[in-house]
Amino acid sequence: MSHILLIVDGMTDPDFRLADYPAMDSMQQLAPVDYSEGGRPETLACTLRILGLRQVPPHIRPIVEAYGAGLEVAPDDLWLRGSWYHIDEQGQPDRQESPETFTLRTDATVEIEPHDLGQGHWLFRLREERYLCERLTLPTPFVTGKMGDLLPEGDETIRDYFSQLATPRHRLIVWDKGVSRPLPQLQEPSVIIAAEKVLLGLGKMLDWETVIHPALTGDTDTDLGLLAQLTLEAAERTDRVIVHVNGADQAGHQRDEAGKRAFLRRIDSELLPLLLRSPHRLTLTSDHGCDPATGCHLAGPQPVLCSGMTHLRGNEGYRKQFSSL
């Protein structure tokens, strides 16, 4: 018997109610857990805490996503992570949205390599510029209210490059930086099923099996029936399967409340019943919330739902993960 850990990215928001989703509501509820632990509610850090890592290294998301994208990661390179945002009438980002057309600089004097992660997200590599990592100050787009300057501070060449990645209504905002560093090993090997580069990179760095399929996407169009099939197949060959579903978070960033609700109903009616009918143990949680009213991530306690608690009570590893056990 395997343990299926289902992470629904960005599931909660101020209007989220378990009672609206019968399959979720039928599961046993443990005490909610705030995986942001007072920090920025960000997918990688929160996911690592879900998996039991207590000390999350700072600024590792660009490195993990570089691995997930199959890019070479050299020890002295600096990586920057950015996303496209729509800019409102006050000059502030109000939702993640990529423009239909934009031009990347090809000036040979600017040695910045862009890499498209899809869905409006990009990585930028600066070769042998590791020393710049501590110097740069970056904005934080996943907050509400005024942000001030949307450009990196600390290096004029980098600031100038990203000042030109803009259209009249869109701007690419760099919100994380990183240099190569080892990721602490987690004790329990797993299979990861995901579409997001950050989860695939995590699997690669931990030397875990990863399962991908073209029909599994990081948006609301992902094939949940296929996801259930692949999950149950993986559960037959391993002790733990980590399943990451991103569509609710994506809809939240796009400020599409109806789309987020519809996607969560699909999870509840298309994915969960198949997993709940299997002989495998199931835990469902979310890394953080995402508010479709603002397009921003939310910190705060996330539901922890189980298909049964008996398998968890004697498992010391999960006692450490979930504060209610």
- Domain identity same for 41 and 76: no
- One domain for residues 100 and 241: no
Q: Kindly state whether residues 290 and 244 are assigned to the same domain.
A: yes
Q: Which of 179, 204, 229 is the last residue of a domain?
A: 179
**Is the domain of 52 the same as that of 199?**
yes
Q: Which of 260, 304, 265 is nearest to 282 (CA)?
A: 304
- Partner residues linked to 167 by β-bridges: 170
Q: Which domain holds residue 304?
A: 3-56+185-321
Same domain as 52, residue 190: yes
Give 139-182 as a DSSP string: ---SSSS-----S-BS-HHHHHHHHTSEETTEEEEEEEEEE--P
Last residue of a domain, one of 179, 196, 231: 179
Low-confidence ranges of the chain (pLDDT < 70): 108-109, 141-148, 187, 308-325
pTM of the model: 0.87
Which of these, 7, 9, 16, 6, lies nearest to 246 by C-alpha position? 9
Cβ atoms of 52 and 109 closer than 8 Å = no
Handedness of CA 59, 64, 66, 71 (dihedral sign): positive
Q: What is the pLDDT of residues 122-143, one digit of tens each?
A: 999 999 999 999 999 998 765 4
Task: Indicate if 193 and 310 belong to the same structural domain.
Answer: yes
Say if residue 88 is in the same domain as residue 119.
yes
Domain boundary among 114, 147, 179: 179
pLDDT value of residue 201: 95
**Which contiguous run of DSSP H or E holds residue 79?**
strand 78-87
Q: Are residues 196 and 49 in the same domain?
A: yes
pLDDT, residue 46, reads 96
Do 38 and 75 lie in a common domain? no
Residues 149 and 115 in one domain: yes
- At 294-322, the pLDDT tens digits run 888 999 999 999 996 554 443 344 444 43
**C-alpha separations of 20 from 10, 246, 251 in Å:** 16, 19, 18
For position 30, what pLDDT does the model report?
Answer: 97
What is the residue type of 148?
A: G
Closest of 260, 61, 84 to residue 169, by C-alpha? 84
Q: Indicate which CATH number applies to the domain containing 275.
A: 3.40.720.10
Rounded distance between C-alpha atoms, residue 306 and residue 302, angstroms: 13
**Pick from 22, 28, 40: which is nearest to 143 by CA?**
40
- Please spell the DSSP secondary structure of 199-226, one letter per residue: HHHHHHHTT-EEE--TT--SSTT--HHH
Alpha-carbon span 218 to 194, nearest angstrom: 8
Rg over alpha carbons for the chain, rounded to the nearest Å, is 20
Q: Distance (Å, rounded) from C-alpha 41 to C-alpha 43? A: 7
If asked whether residues 312 and 195 sit together in one domain, one would say yes
Query: How many domains in the chain?
Result: 2
Say what the pLDDT of residue 284 is.
98
Check whether residue 129 and residue 207 sit in a common domain: no
